[in-house]
Amino acid sequence: MDASTIKVPVHDRFYIGGKWVEPAVPGETHHVIDASTEAIIATVPLGDAADVDRAVAAARRGFDTWSQSDLRTRSEALTEIHAKLAERSQEIAALISSEMGMPLPVSGLLQAGLPLWSFATMAKLVHEFAWEEEVGNSLIVREPVGVVGAITPWNYPLHQIAAKVAPAIAAGCAIVLKPSEVAPLSSFVLAEVIDSVGLPAGVFNLVTGTGPVVGEALARHTDVDMISLTGSTRAGRRVSELAAQTIKRVSLELGGKSANIILDDVGEDLTAAVVDGIQKCFVNSGQTCTAFTRMLVPRHLLAQVEGIARSVVEALKLGSPFAPGSELGPMVTKGHLETVRRYIAKGIEEGAKLICGGPEPVAGLAKGWFARPTVFSGVAPGMTIEQEEIFGPVLSIIPYDDEGEAIRIANDTIYGLSGGVWSRDPARAERVARRMRTGMVDINGGAFNPMQAFGGYKQSGNGRELGVHGLAEFTEIKAIQR
C-alpha cells in the first residue's frame, strides 16, 4: 500500500444522535495535509458552539438509555467495535501515516494496533471491574459519570480516541468527541464502525473543529459532566479554567520531558541502554508525550554515550512513511517543523554540544516537513532544550556526578509523565524509579503495558487512562447506607 492507493471519502458532515448531519453553519472547512508530500488529502467541516449544543443534547438522550444497559450488552458492543476496526486496520494505518507521517509498518503496529487493545481490554474488564463493594453498613456503587467531552490530539489520533471512547462506553457514559483537525480521518472510520454496530443514538457523537471553538464549547458546556483531554499543557490549563465554571470532572494527559537515567553500574549493558533510550526518544519522530528526551549519564561515560548515540542516530533513515525502510517520518505541519528547528537553534545558542543533526533542511527531501534527527550533549540543567517539550526528534544528553544529582535533575521540570532507569541491579533501579516524580517508569527497557495506569504527575496532568484505572475515571461513586 502507498499514498496513491488511499481513497478518502468526502467528509462534510458530523455524526450526531446516530445520524450524519450537516453543520449548523455549512461552509467552514479544514484541509487535511499529507505531512510527507504537502498535498491536500481530505477536507473536514469545522463545527461551532451550535454543533456542540446539538451533540451534547443527543449525548444526554443517549446517556439516559446507555447508562441503564447491562454489562453483557456493553461488552458485546465493545467486542463488535474491536472486530470491525480490525477489519479496517490497514486502512487506518495508511490514513494516519498520510496525515502525520509515521512509517507504515510502525503505524500498523501502534496507530492501528493500540486502539484494538483498548476496545478488547474494555470488553473484558467490564465483567471484572468492581462495580460494587461492601464497606461497613454501606454499599459503594460505581455509576457512569454522564456525558463526556473528549478532546484528542494528532500524534496518536485513534489510540487517544480509543483510550477515552472505549472506557466511556464500558462505564455506561455517552461521549462527544472532538478530534484534532490536523489528523481527524481515523475518527470518521470509528464513527462509521460505531454506526454499523448500532449503539443507541447519541451514545457516540463526532464534531470536528478547532480547540478554541469546539473544544472550549465542550469544556464550558453546562450539560457536559466530564472533560477528558489529551494535549499540550497549555491546552490543559485553558480547559481546566473553563471546566471549573461548572465544577465538571477533568482528566488531563498533557506534556512531558521524560528523563532516562543510566546508572553507573550499567556495565556491558551501556549500548543497549543508549539504543533503547534513543528508540524511546525518536518514536513517531519524537512527536510523543512520553518520549525519553533527556538521557542522564554518569560523567565518566559521557564520551562513550556520545559515540553510541552519534552512530545510531546518523544511521536513521528519513523518508516517506510509505517508502521501504523509512524509520523516521516528517513533522506533522510546517509550523511544527519551524518550532522544532527553533529549539535546535536555541540549543546551539545556549552552548549545548551538537553531536549530530541541526536546524538545517534535510538533504534530498524537498517535499515534506522533515526535521534532522538531532543529539545534543553537555546539556546543562536549566537550558531551554532541557526544560521545554520540543515534540520532535531531539535528544539531550545530560552528565551527572552521582545518583542523588541524577534524581534531582530528573525531577527538576514542570513535567512528570514518564521516565526510565538502567542498572545491573534491579533493586537499585526500582529504588531510583520510586524517587522519580513521574507517573510511569521503565526499568531496563521495560515494554509498554497497555493495561497499566497511563498518566502523569505535576503539569503532565491528572487522572489515568488504560486498564482498570482508565475505566474507573469514567465512573462516579455513590454510597448507599443501610
Contact of 428 with 416, CB cutoff 8 Å: no
Rg for the chain (alpha carbons), in Å? 23
Query: What is the DSSP-derived secondary structure letter of residue 188?
Result: H
With 0-12 CB in 10 A as exposed, 13-18 as middle and 19+ as buried, what is 196? exposed
Query: What is the DSSP-derived secondary structure letter of residue 5?
Result: G
List 253, 403, 465, 473, catalytic entry: 253
Amino acid at 271: T
Q: Quote the cell numbers at residue 86.
A: 480490525
Long-range contacts from 274-281, C-beta under 8 angstroms, 24+ separation: 274/305, 274/308, 274/309, 274/312, 275/308, 275/312, 276/420, 276/422, 276/445, 277/395, 277/420, 278/309, 278/312, 278/313, 278/395, 280/420, 280/442, 281/393, 281/395
With 0-12 CB in 10 A as exposed, 13-18 as middle and 19+ as buried, what is 134? exposed
**Contacting residues for 415 by C-beta, under 8 A, at least 6 apart:** 233, 255, 256, 257, 258, 389, 438, 456, 458, 459, 460
Q: Quote the cell numbers at residue 324.
A: 521501504
Give the integer Cα–Cα distance in Å for 314 and 337. Answer: 19
253 is catalytic: yes
Strands of 10-146 (E only): list them.
14-16, 19-21, 29-33, 40-45, 132-135, 138-144
Give the integer Cα–Cα distance in Å for 28 and 44. Answer: 9
Q: What are the residue numbers of the active site?
A: 253
